[in-house]
Copies of this chain bind each other. A is one copy, B any other.
């Protein structure tokens, strides 16, 4: 598999992004992995989400980048830490602040596999990253346009982020659906009934 240099910017990021999504038939030497593309960093966030999945947590993952480098990674650890605020985004924001020694995440981009909830969106606004990129939307409780929009609500909030949605959206959604389907099946087995427990609701 051919790779571009880690800090080399692609000539045309859009083309490169599309290329990563649809590699077959475009270049028979195999896909180029653009290490600066949204898809690449979302892939890294998905890697974090899979760690959450392996730990029995709702599979969400996040990474934060600054000038093309990942400065923080985190996965949802609500059950592991017994802390309902330990969403992937919250842990990633705190880690990024630790790395930079500042709570202002200027020039940073947050990648997260699922649309942020109101808590995370509120936290993002406080920390002021430039961009937020997410995978799948959450029409019911998302706070980046799904249910409400806190990221682009300035005024009255103090900061406004650029938002990109749907990056590797299918993969991000599939992992969540798989988790909830398996959790439902386990519940059904435990209860020994045919009843379906809707964990997503």
Q: A155 CA to B110 CA in the complex, in Å?
A: 28
Residues of A whose CB lies within 8 Å of any CB of B are 78, 82-85, 90, 93-94, 97-98, 101-104, 117-123, 125-128, 140-141, 143, 147-148, 150, 156-157
Asked whether, in the complex, the Cβ of A97 is within 8 Å of the Cβ of B122, the reply is: no
What residues of B have a CB within 8 angstroms of the CB of A103 in the complex? 78, 82-84
A101 neighbours in B (Cβ, 8 Å): 82
Complex Cα gap A126–B120 (Å)? 11
- Determine whether the beta carbon of B118 is less than 8 Å from that of A150: yes
Measured CA separation A119–B140 after assembly (Å): 17
Partner of A120, one of B78, B93, B122: B122
Known: A118-B150, A141-B156, A148-B148. A97 touches B123 (CB 8 A): no
Tell me, rounded to whole Å, the shortest Cβ–Cβ distance linking A87 to chain B.
8
Instruction: Name the residue of chain B whose CB is nearest to the CB of A127.
Output: B84
Q: How far apart are A68's CB and chain B's nearest CB, in angstroms?
A: 23
Whether the Cβ atoms of B127 and A141 lie closer than 8 Å is no
Given contacts A85-B126, A118-B125, 10 further A-B contacts (CB under 8 A): A82-B102, A84-B126, A84-B127, A85-B90, A118-B118, A118-B143, A118-B157, A119-B125, A119-B126, A122-B122
Query: Contacts of A127 on B, CB cut-off 8 Å?
Result: 84-85
